[in-house]
A and B are shown apart, each in its own frame.
Chain A
Amino acid sequence: MKINTYSLVRKVHLYAAFCMLGFLFMYFATGFILLHEEWFPDVKSQTTVEQHAVTIPASMDAKMISVFLQKQFNINALRYNPVSNDDGSITFNYEKPGRFYTIKLLPDRMHVEMNDSDFTSTRTITGFHTLHGYGGSRPFLIYMFWMDLASIATLLFGLSGLYLWYRLMRNKLWGILILMLSAGYTIAVIVILMKG
């Protein structure tokens, strides 16, 4: 069976765009806010601090404790790597859009200090953009997988779009000029930053 390359690439371009449109729209809307944070309200947070008694099984290492505490306090968030402090305490950080949790396991391993920071709406919106890395509860694993797909789709749009332009446009002069301008500018910025 002969495959029509143009038709295949056009379908890849179209359906990759459709599948990832929701995430791409979020990426670009939140990315615009991140680039111009000064135009939007200040990032202020309300933090509540609580102390709790916990029973941590002795056999658990820091990573297992991180999972344990997340379940114990029912935190639906992305889980970061634990940080061991000089005084023997361990800090566990969890994040979701608009919310940041820090749990400090005190050296006695029987008490925790929990900071729960609630951010304003701007930080909540941009939080969708800045979440990265696998770890955390199931919705976050799905979210990161979807983000990976959106990243691959972004590459596919670009490359398939380039092919479609090459096939569709008879007069390629303007396209070549635009491409040279955008690629040339990007390369120049990269070179200046590498050498500067």
Chain B
Amino acid sequence: MKRKIVKWHLYAGLLFFPCFIIFGVSSLHFNHHFGFMKKSDDTRSFQKQIVLPHYVDNKQFSEEVRDSLQLMGTISPWGMANDSGGFRFVVVHPGCEYGITAHFDNNTVTIRENRKGFWPVFNALHAFNGKLPGNNSLLVSGWSYYQSFSALVMLFSIISGIYIFLKRKNERTAGLYILFSAVSISFFIMLSVWL
């Protein structure tokens, strides 16, 4: 029984290994804002000719333009404007930010693309639910399931880890002291910020 649980404990850990690394590194970054993990300033602009959709309202129009351009991302409620320069809006997702201007007079759109680079994407996966409107891929939308499944696997790892530890008689007493002391300290710290 113990051997089987050790085996499943190790396999569960391997399945969860990338999440461990992502959670550990990104949590440190959220507390310290490391300079080398800042988003890149790599920006380029280009134009595309498309058939602009019929304008009904800002939301409908910006969504249809985004879909015509086969982009994925959320339309930011900020940076939306409709004036003589054209209709402007911003599409964002963890890896990129698109500033889009639709020109009604010649059916063209100008796209200013800012790719954020590796670290912003890596850190965004910490809290990414995979739900991106537009031209999203199955792999990306599946991230939410992977993360939820990983959380359950983590729970299994904790319980099975404690079981494996309790089966070892030689360091059980010292380990239990450390376990209960550390858990008590953690809850005391949480209580002290809550109250």
Give the interface of A toward B (CB within 8 A).
14-15, 17-28, 31-32, 34-36, 76, 78, 96-98, 124, 128, 131-134, 139-140, 142-144, 146-148, 150-155, 157-158, 161-162, 164-165, 168-169, 174-175, 178-179, 181-183, 185-186, 188-190, 192-196
Contact = CB atoms under 8 A, between A and B. Distances in A.
A51 B190 CA distance: 31
B30 interface: yes
B14 A162 contact: yes
Given A35-B148, A158-B17, A179-B17, 15 more contacts: A23-B186, A28-B154, A143-B189, A151-B27, A152-B24, A153-B24, A154-B24, A155-B20, A157-B20, A161-B13, A164-B10, A165-B14, A182-B15, A186-B22, A193-B140
Contact of A193 (B95, B129, B178, B189): B95
A194 B97 CA distance: 11
A21 B158 contact: yes
Interface in B140-193: 140, 143-144, 146-148, 151, 154-155, 158, 161, 165, 175, 178-179, 182-187, 189-190, 192-193
Interface residues of B, number: 66
Contacts of A97: 193-194
A175 B20 CA distance: 16
A28 B28 contact: no
Interface in B14-45: 14-25, 27-28, 30-31, 33
Interface string B25-69: 101101101000000000000000000000000000000000000
A195 to B, nearest CB: 8
Given A22-B183, A175-B14, A190-B118, A139 B193 contact: yes
Q: Is the interface of B mostly helix, strand, loop or mixed?
A: helix
A41 B57 CA distance: 31
Interface of B: 6-7, 10-11, 13-25, 27-28, 30-31, 33, 72, 93-96, 115, 117-118, 121-122, 124-125, 127, 129, 135, 137, 139-140, 143-144, 146-148, 151, 154-155, 158, 161, 165, 175, 178-179, 182-187, 189-190, 192-195
